[in-house]
Protein backbone atom coordinates (compact mmCIF):
# COMPACT_ATOMS: atom_id res chain seq x y z
CA UNK A 1 0.00 0.00 0.00
CA UNK A 2 1.19 3.49 -0.92
CA UNK A 3 0.19 6.39 1.36
CA UNK A 4 0.11 9.90 -0.13
CA UNK A 5 -0.48 12.96 2.06
CA UNK A 6 -1.90 16.10 0.40
CA UNK A 7 -1.92 19.59 1.92
CA UNK A 8 -1.91 23.08 0.49
CA UNK A 9 -1.85 26.84 1.04
CA UNK A 10 0.23 27.14 4.23
CA UNK A 11 0.72 30.90 3.65
CA UNK A 12 3.73 30.95 5.96
CA UNK A 13 3.78 33.80 8.42
CA UNK A 14 4.38 36.19 9.92
CA UNK A 15 5.39 38.54 7.16
CA UNK A 16 9.00 39.71 7.40
CA UNK A 17 9.78 43.40 7.64
CA UNK A 18 8.67 45.16 4.48
CA UNK A 19 10.50 48.04 2.82
CA UNK A 20 8.22 50.80 1.45
CA UNK A 21 9.64 50.33 -2.05
CA UNK A 22 8.54 46.67 -1.98
CA UNK A 23 4.92 47.77 -1.64
CA UNK A 24 4.97 49.91 -4.78
CA UNK A 25 3.11 47.15 -6.63
CA UNK A 26 0.29 44.65 -6.16
CA UNK A 27 2.06 43.72 -2.93
CA UNK A 28 0.39 46.67 -1.19
CA UNK A 29 -3.02 44.99 -1.59
CA UNK A 30 -1.70 41.69 -0.25
CA UNK A 31 0.06 43.40 2.62
CA UNK A 32 -3.11 45.15 3.74
CA UNK A 33 -5.08 41.91 3.39
CA UNK A 34 -2.53 40.13 5.56
CA UNK A 35 -2.65 42.78 8.28
CA UNK A 36 -6.45 42.94 8.33
CA UNK A 37 -7.35 39.27 7.86
CA UNK A 38 -4.80 36.56 7.29
CA UNK A 39 -2.43 37.45 10.11
CA UNK A 40 -5.27 36.58 12.51
CA UNK A 41 -6.81 33.69 10.57
CA UNK A 42 -3.63 31.80 9.65
CA UNK A 43 -1.19 30.82 12.35
CA UNK A 44 1.84 28.59 12.52
CA UNK A 45 0.42 26.68 15.49
CA UNK A 46 -2.23 25.02 13.30
CA UNK A 47 0.26 24.38 10.52
CA UNK A 48 2.86 22.91 12.87
CA UNK A 49 0.28 20.56 14.39
CA UNK A 50 -0.85 19.45 10.94
CA UNK A 51 2.71 18.70 9.80
CA UNK A 52 3.36 16.79 13.01
CA UNK A 53 0.31 14.62 12.35
CA UNK A 54 1.32 14.03 8.74
CA UNK A 55 4.68 12.73 9.93
CA UNK A 56 2.96 10.52 12.51
CA UNK A 57 0.98 8.82 9.71
CA UNK A 58 4.27 7.92 7.96
CA UNK A 59 3.19 8.61 4.36
CA UNK A 60 5.30 7.35 1.49
CA UNK A 61 5.10 10.75 -0.19
CA UNK A 62 3.75 14.25 0.47
CA UNK A 63 2.12 16.58 -2.08
CA UNK A 64 1.99 20.34 -1.47
CA UNK A 65 -0.12 22.36 -3.92
CA UNK A 66 1.27 25.85 -3.57
CA UNK A 67 0.88 29.23 -1.88
CA UNK A 68 3.75 28.78 0.53
CA UNK A 69 4.08 32.55 0.86
CA UNK A 70 1.82 35.60 0.87
CA UNK A 71 3.21 38.47 -1.20
CA UNK A 72 6.39 36.79 -2.48
CA UNK A 73 8.90 38.97 -0.66
CA UNK A 74 12.48 37.74 -1.09
CA UNK A 75 12.67 36.99 2.66
CA UNK A 76 9.42 35.00 2.42
CA UNK A 77 10.84 32.88 -0.37
CA UNK A 78 14.10 32.24 1.50
CA UNK A 79 12.13 31.50 4.67
CA UNK A 80 10.04 28.92 2.81
CA UNK A 81 13.26 27.34 1.55
CA UNK A 82 14.35 26.85 5.16
CA UNK A 83 10.91 25.51 6.14
CA UNK A 84 10.54 22.91 3.38
CA UNK A 85 13.09 20.43 4.83
CA UNK A 86 11.05 20.36 8.06
CA UNK A 87 8.18 18.92 6.00
CA UNK A 88 10.15 16.44 3.94
CA UNK A 89 13.19 15.85 1.77
CA UNK A 90 13.06 16.60 -1.97
CA UNK A 91 12.76 12.85 -2.48
CA UNK A 92 9.68 12.65 -0.26
CA UNK A 93 7.91 15.94 -1.01
CA UNK A 94 6.56 17.24 -4.34
CA UNK A 95 5.58 20.89 -4.69
CA UNK A 96 3.63 22.86 -7.28
CA UNK A 97 3.61 26.68 -6.96
CA UNK A 98 0.56 28.87 -6.38
CA UNK A 99 -0.46 32.37 -7.38
CA UNK A 100 0.90 33.88 -4.15
CA UNK A 101 4.28 32.34 -4.95
CA UNK A 102 4.14 34.26 -8.25
CA UNK A 103 2.57 37.38 -6.76
CA UNK A 104 4.56 39.93 -8.76
CA UNK A 105 6.62 39.62 -11.96
CA UNK A 106 9.90 37.83 -11.30
CA UNK A 107 8.78 36.23 -8.04
CA UNK A 108 8.09 32.79 -9.51
CA UNK A 109 11.57 32.65 -11.03
CA UNK A 110 13.09 33.34 -7.60
CA UNK A 111 10.81 30.81 -5.93
CA UNK A 112 11.72 28.16 -8.47
CA UNK A 113 15.43 28.79 -7.93
CA UNK A 114 14.99 28.47 -4.15
CA UNK A 115 12.62 25.47 -4.11
CA UNK A 116 13.77 23.70 -7.26
CA UNK A 117 14.70 20.34 -5.65
CA UNK A 118 11.03 19.85 -4.76
CA UNK A 119 9.85 20.60 -8.30
CA UNK A 120 12.20 18.48 -10.39
CA UNK A 121 11.57 15.35 -12.44
CA UNK A 122 13.31 12.12 -11.70
CA UNK A 123 16.24 12.13 -14.17
CA UNK A 124 14.95 9.13 -16.08
CA UNK A 125 11.48 10.73 -16.44
CA UNK A 126 12.49 14.28 -17.40
CA UNK A 127 10.73 15.71 -20.43
CA UNK A 128 12.91 15.05 -23.47
CA UNK A 129 14.08 18.26 -25.16
CA UNK A 130 16.95 19.63 -27.21
CA UNK A 131 16.51 23.03 -25.54
CA UNK A 132 19.49 24.21 -23.50
CA UNK A 133 16.96 25.49 -20.95
CA UNK A 134 14.47 22.63 -20.55
CA UNK A 135 10.94 23.48 -19.40
CA UNK A 136 10.43 23.58 -15.65
CA UNK A 137 6.96 22.05 -15.76
CA UNK A 138 5.45 19.60 -15.77
CA UNK A 139 7.80 17.63 -13.55
CA UNK A 140 7.36 13.86 -13.29
CA UNK A 141 8.22 11.56 -10.40
CA UNK A 142 7.67 7.86 -9.96
CA UNK A 143 7.39 6.25 -6.56
CA UNK A 144 6.77 2.55 -6.95
CA UNK A 145 3.77 2.26 -9.26
CA UNK A 146 2.61 5.82 -8.53
CA UNK A 147 3.40 8.52 -11.10
CA UNK A 148 3.17 12.08 -9.78
CA UNK A 149 2.98 14.88 -12.36
CA UNK A 150 3.33 18.47 -11.17
CA UNK A 151 1.80 21.20 -13.32
CA UNK A 152 2.28 24.92 -12.70
CA UNK A 153 -0.76 27.21 -12.96
CA UNK A 154 1.06 30.02 -11.14
CA UNK A 155 1.55 33.40 -12.76
CA UNK A 156 1.74 37.04 -11.76
CA UNK A 157 -1.70 38.56 -12.26
CA UNK A 158 -3.09 42.08 -12.12
CA UNK A 159 -4.23 43.71 -8.87
CA UNK A 160 -7.41 42.18 -7.44
CA UNK A 161 -6.94 39.05 -9.57
CA UNK A 162 -5.68 35.61 -8.50
CA UNK A 163 -6.06 33.77 -11.79
CA UNK A 164 -3.93 30.92 -13.05
CA UNK A 165 -2.85 29.74 -16.48
CA UNK A 166 -1.23 26.64 -17.98
CA UNK A 167 0.58 27.15 -21.28
CA UNK A 168 0.27 24.87 -24.29
CA UNK A 169 3.76 23.40 -23.92
CA UNK A 170 2.90 22.21 -20.42
CA UNK A 171 -0.41 20.74 -21.55
CA UNK A 172 1.23 18.91 -24.45
CA UNK A 173 3.88 17.43 -22.15
CA UNK A 174 1.23 16.56 -19.57
CA UNK A 175 -0.65 14.51 -22.13
CA UNK A 176 2.51 12.69 -23.15
CA UNK A 177 3.47 11.88 -19.58
CA UNK A 178 -0.03 10.67 -18.73
CA UNK A 179 0.14 8.35 -21.72
CA UNK A 180 3.58 7.03 -20.74
CA UNK A 181 2.42 6.38 -17.19
CA UNK A 182 -0.68 4.60 -18.42
CA UNK A 183 1.48 2.33 -20.57
CA UNK A 184 3.48 1.47 -17.44
CA UNK A 185 0.26 0.57 -15.64
CA UNK A 186 0.78 3.29 -13.03
CA UNK A 187 -1.68 5.11 -10.79
CA UNK A 188 -1.44 8.70 -12.08
CA UNK A 189 -1.69 11.70 -9.75
CA UNK A 190 -1.72 15.23 -11.19
CA UNK A 191 -0.86 18.18 -8.92
CA UNK A 192 -1.66 21.83 -9.59
CA UNK A 193 -2.75 24.87 -7.60
CA UNK A 194 -5.88 26.22 -9.30
CA UNK A 195 -9.02 24.08 -9.61
CA UNK A 196 -9.50 22.84 -13.20
CA UNK A 197 -13.26 22.42 -12.79
CA UNK A 198 -15.55 24.97 -14.42
CA UNK A 199 -17.09 27.43 -11.92
CA UNK A 200 -15.12 25.90 -9.03
CA UNK A 201 -14.25 29.37 -7.77
CA UNK A 202 -14.97 33.03 -8.48
CA UNK A 203 -14.09 34.35 -11.93
CA UNK A 204 -11.26 36.54 -10.61
CA UNK A 205 -9.58 33.47 -9.06
CA UNK A 206 -10.25 30.99 -11.86
CA UNK A 207 -7.90 28.91 -13.97
CA UNK A 208 -8.00 30.77 -17.28
CA UNK A 209 -8.51 28.37 -20.16
CA UNK A 210 -9.29 25.47 -17.83
CA UNK A 211 -11.13 23.70 -20.66
CA UNK A 212 -7.77 22.99 -22.31
CA UNK A 213 -6.62 21.10 -19.21
CA UNK A 214 -9.91 19.20 -19.10
CA UNK A 215 -9.45 18.26 -22.75
CA UNK A 216 -6.09 16.65 -21.92
CA UNK A 217 -7.65 14.61 -19.12
CA UNK A 218 -10.61 13.67 -21.34
CA UNK A 219 -8.17 12.25 -23.89
CA UNK A 220 -5.50 10.66 -21.72
CA UNK A 221 -7.14 10.17 -18.33
CA UNK A 222 -5.74 10.29 -14.79
CA UNK A 223 -6.63 8.52 -11.57
CA UNK A 224 -6.50 11.51 -9.24
CA UNK A 225 -6.17 15.31 -9.52
CA UNK A 226 -5.18 17.30 -6.42
CA UNK A 227 -5.20 21.08 -6.01
CA UNK A 228 -5.45 23.94 -3.52
CA UNK A 229 -6.29 27.65 -3.90
CA UNK A 230 -9.94 27.73 -2.71
CA UNK A 231 -9.14 26.92 0.95
CA UNK A 232 -12.09 24.51 0.98
CA UNK A 233 -12.58 20.77 1.32
CA UNK A 234 -14.16 19.79 -1.98
CA UNK A 235 -14.42 16.72 -4.18
CA UNK A 236 -15.42 17.36 -7.78
CA UNK A 237 -15.01 15.51 -11.06
CA UNK A 238 -13.96 16.06 -14.64
CA UNK A 239 -14.50 13.70 -17.54
CA UNK A 240 -11.89 11.07 -18.38
CA UNK A 241 -11.86 8.51 -21.18
CA UNK A 242 -13.24 5.83 -18.86
CA UNK A 243 -15.48 8.00 -16.68
CA UNK A 244 -15.26 10.83 -14.12
CA UNK A 245 -11.85 11.61 -12.58
CA UNK A 246 -11.84 12.87 -8.94
CA UNK A 247 -10.59 16.42 -8.40
CA UNK A 248 -9.91 17.10 -4.73
CA UNK A 249 -9.02 20.21 -2.72
CA UNK A 250 -8.06 20.69 0.93
CA UNK A 251 -8.48 23.74 3.19
CA UNK A 252 -5.51 25.97 3.94
CA UNK A 253 -3.02 24.12 6.14
CA UNK A 254 -2.69 27.11 8.48
CA UNK A 255 -6.30 28.30 8.71
CA UNK A 256 -7.66 28.70 12.23
CA UNK A 257 -10.99 27.73 13.72
CA UNK A 258 -14.07 29.94 13.41
CA UNK A 259 -13.21 31.54 10.07
CA UNK A 260 -15.34 31.66 6.92
CA UNK A 261 -13.40 28.73 5.43
CA UNK A 262 -12.75 25.37 7.13
CA UNK A 263 -9.87 25.03 9.59
CA UNK A 264 -6.58 23.38 8.72
CA UNK A 265 -6.85 19.93 7.18
CA UNK A 266 -5.03 17.47 4.96
CA UNK A 267 -5.96 14.28 3.12
CA UNK A 268 -4.27 10.90 3.34
CA UNK A 269 -4.75 8.60 0.33
CA UNK A 270 -4.15 4.87 0.71
CA UNK A 271 -3.53 3.45 -2.76
CA UNK A 272 -3.15 -0.25 -3.32
CA UNK A 273 -2.80 -2.46 -6.37
CA UNK A 274 -4.50 -5.82 -6.51
CA UNK A 275 -3.81 -7.70 -9.71
CA UNK A 276 -4.92 -5.51 -12.60
CA UNK A 277 -6.97 -3.20 -10.37
CA UNK A 278 -6.50 -0.63 -7.66
CA UNK A 279 -8.21 0.54 -4.51
CA UNK A 280 -7.99 4.10 -3.20
CA UNK A 281 -9.29 5.28 0.17
CA UNK A 282 -9.07 8.89 1.32
CA UNK A 283 -8.98 9.90 4.97
CA UNK A 284 -9.56 13.53 5.90
CA UNK A 285 -7.59 14.65 8.96
CA UNK A 286 -7.49 18.06 10.59
CA UNK A 287 -9.12 20.42 13.06
CA UNK A 288 -12.75 20.76 14.06
CA UNK A 289 -12.15 22.33 17.47
CA UNK A 290 -8.94 23.46 19.13
CA UNK A 291 -9.50 21.06 22.02
CA UNK A 292 -9.57 18.01 19.76
CA UNK A 293 -6.44 18.92 17.86
CA UNK A 294 -5.74 17.13 14.58
CA UNK A 295 -8.00 14.10 14.32
CA UNK A 296 -9.82 11.80 11.92
CA UNK A 297 -12.71 13.62 10.23
CA UNK A 298 -13.99 11.29 7.51
CA UNK A 299 -13.01 8.36 5.32
CA UNK A 300 -14.41 7.13 2.04
CA UNK A 301 -13.60 5.24 -1.14
CA UNK A 302 -12.78 7.23 -4.22
CA UNK A 303 -14.77 6.07 -7.19
CA UNK A 304 -12.13 6.20 -9.87
CA UNK A 305 -12.64 4.78 -13.38
CA UNK A 306 -10.87 1.48 -13.86
CA UNK A 307 -10.15 1.02 -10.14
CA UNK A 308 -11.44 -1.78 -7.98
CA UNK A 309 -13.00 -0.28 -4.87
CA UNK A 310 -11.86 -1.57 -1.53
CA UNK A 311 -14.21 -4.03 0.13
* Angular region, 190: left φ>0, alpha ψ -120 to 50, beta rest: beta
In-domain check, residue 306: no
pLDDT band at 40 (very low <50, low <70, confident <90, very high): low
Share of the chain above pLDDT 90, in %: 76
Looking at the 3D structure of the chain, how many domains does it have?
1
In-domain check, residue 307: no
- Put simply, whether the predicted model's pTM sits higher than 0.75 gets the answer yes
pLDDT band at 278 (very low <50, low <70, confident <90, very high): confident
In-domain check, residue 84: yes
In-domain check, residue 221: yes
Rounded to an integer, the average pLDDT of 265-274 is 93
Q: What is the CATH number of the domain that holds 170?
A: 3.60.21.10
Structure confidence at residue 293 (pLDDT): 93
In-domain check, residue 308: no
In-domain check, residue 309: no
Structure confidence at residue 73 (pLDDT): 95
Arithmetic mean of pLDDT over the chain:
91
Number of H helices, E strands in the chain: 7, 14
Q: Which residue range forms the structural domain that includes residue 203?
A: 2-301
The secondary structure of the chain in percent helix, strand, coil, rounded to multiples of 5, reads 30, 25, 45
More confident residue, 121 or 30: 121
Chain mean position to CA 127: 20
Structure confidence at residue 302 (pLDDT): 87
Collapse the DSSP code of 255 into the 3-class scheme (helix H, G, I; strand E, B; otherwise coil) and give the result.
Answer: strand
In-domain check, residue 11: yes
- Give the lowest-confidence range in 80-94, 166-180, 181-195, 282-296: 282-296
Amino acid sequence: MFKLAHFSDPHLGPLPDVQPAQLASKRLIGYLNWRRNRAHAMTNSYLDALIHDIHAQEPDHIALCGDLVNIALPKEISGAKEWLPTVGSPEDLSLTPGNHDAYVPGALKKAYAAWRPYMQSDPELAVATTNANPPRFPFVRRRGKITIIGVSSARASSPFLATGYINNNQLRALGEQLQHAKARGDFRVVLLHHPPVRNATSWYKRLVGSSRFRNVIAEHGAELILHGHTHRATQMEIIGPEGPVPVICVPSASNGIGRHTPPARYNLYSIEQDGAGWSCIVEERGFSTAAEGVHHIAQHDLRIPGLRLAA
